[in-house]
Amino acid sequence: MIQLIKGFKDVLPGEIEVWQTIERAAKETFENFGFQEIRLPIVEKSELFSRSIGDTTDIVEKEMYTFEDGKRGHVTLRPEATASVVRSYIQHKMYAKDPIRKFYTIGPMFRRERPQKGRYRQFYQIDAEVFGIDSPYLDAQIIFMLATLLETLKARDVKAHINSLGCPCCRPSFQKALKELLDAKKEHLCENCLRRSEKNPLRVLDCKVPACREAVQGAPSILDHLCDDCSDHFETVKRVLTENGVEYAVDKHLVRGLDYYTRTAFEVLTTSLGAQNAVAGGGRYDGLVKALGGPEVPAIGFAIGFDRLAEIVAMQQSIEAKGPALYIAPLGERAIEAAAHWMMQLAAKGVSCETDFGGRSLKSHMKRADKLNATHVLMLGDDELDKGMATLRNMATKEQGDLPLDGLVETLAERFK
Ligand code: HAM
């Protein structure tokens, strides 16, 4: 038997209901905040990701699914959505009419990470991005929107952790201070970090190797190096979050695993998923649109790990599959033909409907209707067809009554739509 590849998974009925609930809630929440959906390709030129996420990140160094595609050169299965959204924003000159655009997109991402619980090689993200607004009110609004969605979904044990990563003005002074500490701790750092401390010292703060984590315990705080503008920006974000009832913690070592961030960076962490505790992450990336060849447009966004959020939601509430409104139980060949006709007509009119063409007994039909969680069953055999009546049973109350076959589709459509 051919089995799926480790790190990949099927989302089956029983689990998919939670995914659908999350997706509906996300779409509704985001649209209330003025976001529009976009759908983007899964494969992009590799260069798009290396130039935006950063050459020295784990994602670009070792996790991308990249292959050669003839004349197109190297292409990559997208490891995240932000770079593609930016590419699309620039390519279609979406800024020309109005630089302010708000998008969301939901879909699969691919990273060749070591698979474990909550960490997959194909995972899904619910991604939201805003272009054209540099105000700290927007940063707070974005985190508020994320918190609102999590609250709507009753996701407990989640908390926003925020930091500021400064801007090209103030970050170099922090990098210098950090580099000094890393130089002093050289013998404790892993090989990767030794290399990265030269090219991109901030990455060392994101290393998961215990010795490296210990080495950077006493690292300087970027918050002590922010310029006045970045500092004011961060203060406003925090104040507006507090005023709007969003709980958060400031984490001065939060750096994120992607290089494009400036100023506000955040993650939503949970205490209920073990090691893979980040449910969502995001931040401002004011330089990326320009760096990828577009105009100077500020931007901010986040992505929710759909798989992880689904696990939390499933742990905390049970969302069951909805059964059909009607199960038609035909007894005999003529009844089966009538049932086939009615099922098509009813489903086309918006009534969720099931039947069975296999010539089952009434008992077997009732068993299947029960299994499917049907709310009503319409029973009919040759006798009923001759009399022009069928029996409708309410599966919850067990009440049943006769229903004329004349105008049956209209009557049922009216009742169950
Ligand atoms: P990220 O932190 O790399 O950010 O990913 C966002 C979320 O995706 C994580 O918090 C996590 O829940 C989920 N995730 C990441 N990797 C995996 C995995 N291997 N298995 C399961 N879930 C995973 C980004 O991707 C940025 N593009 C977010 C962003 C949007 N920043 C600005 N705009």
Query: Would the pTM count as exceeding 0.85?
Result: yes
Which amino acids bring their CB within 6 angstroms of ligand 1? 80-82, 111, 113, 119-120, 123, 125, 127, 129, 257-258, 278-283, 285, 301-303, 305, 307-308
Question: What is the mean pLDDT of the segment spanning 215-226?
Answer: 92
CA of 291 to the centre of ligand 1 (A): 21
- Secondary structure letter of residue 94 according to DSSP: T
The β-bridge relationship of strands 248-250 and 158-164 is parallel
Amino acid at 392: L
SS3 labels along 232-288: HHHHHHHHHHHHCCCCEEECCCCCCCCCCCEEEEEEEEECCCCCCCEEEEEEECCCH
Question: What is the mean pLDDT of the segment spanning 370-397?
Answer: 95
- What is the rounded average pLDDT for all residues in the chain? 95
What is the model's pLDDT at position 199? Answer: 86
Q: What is the DSSP string of 5-73?
A: PTT-----TTTHHHHHHHHHHHHHHHHHTT-EE----SEEEHHHHHHHH-TTSHIIIII-EEEE-GGG-
Question: What is the mean pLDDT of the segment spanning 392-404?
Answer: 96
The CATH class, in words, for 326-415 is alpha beta
Question: What is the mean pLDDT of the segment spanning 95-110?
Answer: 97
Q: What is the DSSP string of 139-188?
A: HHHHHHHHHHHHHHTT--SEEEEEEE---TTTHHHHHHHHHHHHHHTGGG
Question: What is the mean pLDDT of the segment spanning 273-293?
Answer: 95
Residues 16-38 pLDDT 10s: 999 999 999 999 999 999 999 99
Choices 3.30.465.10, 3.40.718.10, 1.10.357.10, 3.30.930.10: CATH for 16-170+226-316: 3.30.930.10
pLDDT over 70, % of the chain: 100
CA of 368 to the centre of ligand 1 (A): 42
Report which ligand 1 atom has the smallest distance to the Cα of 79.
25
What is the model's pLDDT at position 218? Answer: 87
Question: What is the mean pLDDT of the segment spanning 332-342?
Answer: 95
Element (H, E) at 308: helix 306-316
* Domain ranges (residues) in the chain: 16-170+226-316, 326-415
What is the model's pLDDT at position 171? Answer: 94
